[in-house]
Chains A and B, each alone.
Chain A
Amino acid sequence: MTTNAPAIVSLLICAVALSLPGQATAELKRLDDQALGDVSGQGGIYLSGDVSINELGGPIENSYFGGCDDTTRKCGARFAYRLKENGGWMVLDDIRGNFAFEGLTLRVRTIDSGFGGDGELFKRDVLELGLPNTVRFNDVRFKIAASSTARPTDPGFRQTDIFSVGMQGEVVMEGNLLVFPAGNP
């Protein structure tokens, strides 16, 4: 493929510290409460809630998909794509699970101070997603697979499951995700 990869818009993800098994460094420093008080354009929302994917199964009932109480069928969702014309399909299969959080915040914020002096130079608006302290994962799972057809019900369907992913328990997520445009629009 000879397409020039567009240097479209860079989304800078910063001030994120994930207390996951690994760590992500924070490029910008956390604002203290005094600095927060100086932020204009506040408002925004504090979200509590949960998101579930195929908690009890999906809307398809056929030889492949079924309810989660039917062990002979898959009740998760399926995502298939292919990068080559007339080629095989990469698949995320049997996607399901639930994650819950308290304290995901969303607002537009002006940064013109703080961050060890970087904020004054930065001086622009950002979309801030304040990460919740704790995210609870309930039986989140999916499989990575390679398939001969997009649909598991298509003729000649064959699939190789490469590996499975499962997540259970709590993940501590601190900090903010700041999104802002850069480059030539």
Chain B
Amino acid sequence: MKCVNFLANWSCVGVALVFPGQVMAEMQRLNDTDLAAIRGQGGITLEMEVEVTADRVSYFDDGNGIYLDDFRVGSATDPEGQAFHRVRVDISDDAALNLDYLIEDRRIEFGDVRLAGAPGLSMGGFFFDHSLKGYLRIRPGGALGGSGYTFDSAYTMTAGRLGYRTNGNEIFLDNMTLTMEALGVTLDVVGETLRLEAPRIVGSYDIGAIRYSGNPLNHGHSTDVTTGAALPSYGSISGAFDLTTLTELKAGGRSGEGLRIDHETTINSAHFIYRDDGNALSLRDISGHYRVSDLRLDVTDDWQGRPALGFTLGAMDGEVNIGALEMGDSGRSLGEVNLSFLLQAREFEGRHYTNSLYLQGGGHPDAGGQGLRLATEWSLALADLSYTEDGNRVIFSGLQSWGRGDITVNVTRDELRNGTRFYDGLRVGFDGVKAGYRINGLQVGDEDAPLQGGTELLLALGFYPAYEFEMDGHITLGAGGASGEGLTINSDIQIRNGRAALIASPYDDGSGEISQKGLWLSDLSYDGHIRDMTVDVTGEGLTFNTGESWSTLDVGNLRLGDKRSGQSFGRFVVQTYETGSGLTIVPGGSGEVCAGGVGVTASACAASGGIWQDRGDEGITVRMKQILAKAVDDSRKNAFTWETNREIDGSGQLVNGSGTRLVLNDIHTGDGGDFDGDGVDDNSFGVRTDVSVDVYQTRVVKKDDGPDSLGVSGLRGDEKIMDSAAVAGYRYESTPSSADLENRPLGFAVRAQSRFKELSINNVDLVHPVGGAQTVVYGVHMQNFDIKANLTATPIP
């Protein structure tokens, strides 16, 4: 076993090095004149021009090896050149070792990473360019006594570039700058544990661009070497952090040799800013903490016996708070977000899930020889996600998620390769991923509020309160948005054996886990495709524009009650085909609203029986534009099918297509005529829907005389008033005072407005399995619709 240490900031254990290349360290002798000029100084200065190459760096764990091929340390700008290092070593009178260092134009690179057990599969290459200037001071004595060490370190990294490369394509963080200071970092050995404690790490970072290259001739260049044009960018990132950390390292993997890591971090403060062409998406006032327990690192096999670098986690818990989520020119905030979580092994749906990741080579088999395959299993035992806007809070309570499957990562370019269509960008593939999530319900106000529904109001946004599925497919994230920086997404997703809840009751109502009742899209399959969806941060907010998308959602049974055994309303098939659709997330909610009435002024609203509400500056508004295109063929059209009376096969399964069907065929939007004279009806307006989400007070009245479900009495028509002095936290008032009206219950408030110029159905057919299709409606045209809905959800009293 050999160890290598470069400048005390890079080390490894159990490494066998082979150096067919050369090590060059040019130390120059000081002449007498220079020596005479030195006064009162101590220590020595080392200057080195370094180039280190190795065909292979190997790490072995219980006889299993991982190889880092084509290892090189040298110049970042010259593939044959050396990196400049200057280190001044000084020992001060308190016996501290002081290292001042300057590193210029250095690249650390692995051309490929392979596992000894699977030499034919490679993970791809990594490179890290940088210049560093800083110091490291090492003093004797750690946090626990004299046998340890104390470190003070600070440095500035400039000209940084961190990249990942597969099959000649690469993605990299470009023009990185990082400043960091960590003072009083202690290193102690406690028993068999190496204990590293950093009382405070402060720093800031800036990533000038995140670039993509599909030209194999490029390697770590900001511009294309062929065209000279700047490589497309996903955007830029900057931020700052103030952390306190404690890390414990111990020998021993999950089995045999390996490494155990335990870690705690407190985020004292931080912020994160993503910029797209100068428009910012900011996460400000970040604070929190997390703890990693019993993370093991092994070179081992995954659950399918495939050689892998395994990361297996005992548990991880924490809480992160984002004080403000800002976007748009106005810098308005969507509100505050808080996430508490516990990742821990447990059983879901009769199967035990852990938290583990097995890193392997290969990626998508058709993408080329290089790529990453992550055999992944996760178990989010419990999480609460809360959102606070204008001081009012809603909690998505009891979020759980589980899953297992392979995730592949490749950097690909637009080509048809080995029969598979690839697109420019970072391709994240899903290969047999079986996963699910569920929430227990919403709580409005605080953690003590009763569970309630309300996610039903977000179905228009595609949010289901519970969903489990098996998934294949990919999402490819390309660089560059609608203009300049941003993202371009191409995606093909297939889902099978899915079960999604439209309405779901709690899975735990306080007396233990129960079967979650609801209205379920069961026996669900989905085939969805997205082409050229651009994602940009604009002056308005976060904008998604889709070139073309089409999908088929086939719900084998719409079940009521239990997701597997509940009675079925039959089979439903929803086909969609959209061109030029878009979605924008805008900060700010409903603003001023007339709830329960009509009118654009407070007086007009009150006159109609409504309540005039100012729901504040914060909140979220989602603006959607859906252009439903006319049918192109049977797979690209908008249609809705309801099938019942299906036959049952020999195994007792319902046979899709064997029953009677009601078909709404070729549903499409239009502008109401051909106004541009091209002979085709215009279709640019679509269905425009704005959904605004706030947390706000609402009027809740008692529906019956007598006690309610919590035993609080009142008369029919009495209003519910929150009162902390009351036993149940509320009371009923027949004539609430003005002070009482200030204490109306909080609700999850959703305001939606949907408009379309024309929505048409070409024909409505009844299809008999023997008699065939009969048209019952020869066309439906709906014109000039503007529908507003103002709904506030509270618990059922």
Contact = CB atoms under 8 A, between A and B. Distances in A.
Interface string B734-769: 000000000000010000000111100000001010
Given A43-B441, A50-B610, A65-B784, A106 B778 contact: no
A87 B509 CA distance: 56
Contacts of B784: 54, 57-60, 65, 76-78
Given A8-B642, A60-B783, A107-B505, A37 B453 contact: no
Interface string B500-541: 000111100100001011110000000000000000000000
A1 B776 contact: yes
A47 B780 CA distance: 31
Interface stretch (A15-23, A95-103, A159-167): A95-103
A48 B597 contact: no
Contact of A2 (B514, B771, B790, B791): B771
Contact of A85 (B451, B701, B707, B775): B775
B755 A58 contact: yes
Interface string A1-45: 111111111000000000000000000000001001100111111
Contacts of A48: 595-596, 698-700, 747, 791-792, 794
A157 interface: no
B790 A108 contact: no
Nearest to A49: B791
Contact of B709 (A37, A130, A153): A37
Given A59-B756, A106-B503, A124-B567, A81 B780 contact: yes
Nearest to A80: B781
Given A103-B703, A108-B505, A138 B519 contact: no
B789 A127 contact: no
Interface stretch (B13-21, B74-82, B568-576): B568-576
B759 to A, nearest CB: 10
A144 to B, nearest CB: 15
A181 B569 contact: yes
A13 to B, nearest CB: 15
A7 B660 CA distance: 9
Contacts of A139: 598
Contacts of B505: 41-44, 107-108
A146 to B, nearest CB: 14
Given A48-B698, A48-B700, A151 B791 contact: no
Interface string A111-152: 000000000000011110010110010110000000000110
Nearest to B570: A185
B217 interface: no
Contacts of B421: none
Contacts of A85: 775, 778
Contacts of A100: 596-597, 609-610
B345 to A, nearest CB: 28
Nearest to A185: B568
B672 interface: yes
A82 to B, nearest CB: 5
Interface residues of A, number: 78
Contact of B796 (A57, A80, A98, A107): A107
Nearest to B760: A150
Given A36-B709, A43-B452, A85-B778, A125 B517 contact: yes
A183 interface: yes
Interface string B671-706: 011000000000001001000000000111101001
Interface in A40-99: 40-60, 62, 65, 76-87, 89, 98
Nearest to B751: A49
Contacts of A151: 672-673, 758, 781, 783
A9 B569 contact: yes
Contact of A83 (B673, B771, B776, B787): B776
Given A8-B645, A49-B596, A151-B783, A185 B709 contact: no
Contacts, number: 269
Given A42-B505, A54-B785, A98 B598 contact: yes
A44 B646 contact: no
Contacts of B417: none
A156 to B, nearest CB: 14
B700 A82 contact: no
Nearest to B708: A33
B787 A51 contact: yes
A185 to B, nearest CB: 4
Contact of A87 (B700, B776, B778): B778
Contacts of B787: 51-54
Contacts of B117: none
Contacts of A83: 776-778
B795 interface: yes
A95 to B, nearest CB: 8
Contacts of A81: 777, 779-781
B700 A60 contact: no
A42 B597 contact: no
A127 B505 CA distance: 11
Contacts of A49: 595-596, 789-792
B786 A84 contact: no
Contacts of B642: 8
B608 interface: yes
A55 B760 CA distance: 22
B44 interface: no
Contacts of B672: 60, 62, 151, 153
B118 interface: no
Contacts of A55: 598, 786, 788
A47 B793 contact: yes
Contacts of B517: 40-41, 108, 110, 125
A47 B792 contact: yes
Contacts of A44: 452-453, 505, 796
Contact of A105 (B645, B688, B781, B796): B796
Given A79-B782, A151-B672, A110 B793 contact: no
A152 to B, nearest CB: 8
B286 to A, nearest CB: 32
Nearest to B661: A6
Contacts of A98: 597-598, 608
Nearest to A4: B768
A45 B793 contact: yes
Contacts of B646: 184-185
Contacts of B717: 133
B774 A1 contact: yes
B557 interface: yes
B564 interface: no
Contacts of A45: 452-454, 456, 793-796
B102 interface: no
B561 interface: yes
Contact of B557 (A51, A52, A185): A185
B718 to A, nearest CB: 11
A58 B654 CA distance: 44
Interface string B315-352: 00000000000000000000000000000000000000
A153 B784 CA distance: 12
A49 B644 CA distance: 35
B359 interface: no
Contacts of A105: 796
Interface string B95-137: 0000000000000000000000000000000000000000000
Contacts of A102: 596, 699-701
Given A48-B595, A53-B786, A98-B598, A106 B779 contact: no
B475 interface: no
13 contacts: A1-B774, A2-B771, A3-B771, A43-B441, A46-B793, A48-B595, A50-B597, A79-B781, A83-B776, A98-B598, A124-B567, A136-B609, A151-B781
Given A49-B792, A53-B787, 9 more contacts: A4-B771, A9-B570, A43-B505, A50-B597, A89-B781, A108-B503, A108-B518, A139-B598, A150-B779
Give the 8 A-B residue pairs with the shortest CB-CB distance, closest first. A125-B561, A58-B784, A41-B517, A185-B568, A45-B453, A49-B791, A6-B660, A3-B774
